[in-house]
Amino acid sequence: MDLLPDGFNKTPFIGKNTMKTINKDKEAKKAAMKELRGLRKNLIAAASSTMKIQKKDMAAIKTFLKGEAATIPEIAAAIDMPTDKTLWYIATLKKYGQIIEGQKQGAFFKYALNEPEKTQEKAEA
C-alpha cells in the first residue's frame, strides 16, 4: 500500500557505496576549488588593490566637492590627479547620482555633491 500522493517520488535507498562516491566527489570539488584559488590569487589581489585606489580617488573628489562646486580641471589640480582620470570618475559619480552638474563656467560645467535639498530643487525646476 502506497502512502505517498501521486506526483511525489520515493527516496531511493542510499547504500555505503553511494556514500563513498558522494564523499569522493566532494573531496574532488574541494581540491579543484583550492587549486583555482591558488591560480587566481594574484588576479584577485590586483583587483582588490585597484578597487582600493578607486575608492580613495573617489573619496578625494567627494571631499573636495564638499566645500564648493568646481570644474573638472579645478578638481584635478586640487587633488593632483590627471584630468582624464578625473573626468572618468566625475562621469561615473554623475551617472550614479552622487554628484550633479551645475552652471557652466567657460567651456566647463561645475560639479557639486548631490544633496537632498539640491535634488528636490532640480526636480521642482
Please name each of the domains of the chain with its CATH number. Answer: 16-124 (1.10.10.10)
The three cell numbers of residue 114 are: 548631490
57-to-72, 79, 85, 94, 102 alpha-carbon distances in Å:
14, 9, 10, 15, 21
pLDDT value, residue 27: 87
- Higher local confidence (pLDDT), 47 or 125: 47
Q: Is residue 5 scored above 90 in pLDDT?
A: no
pLDDT per residue over 46-85, tens digit each? 999 999 999 999 999 999 999 899 999 999 999 999 999 9
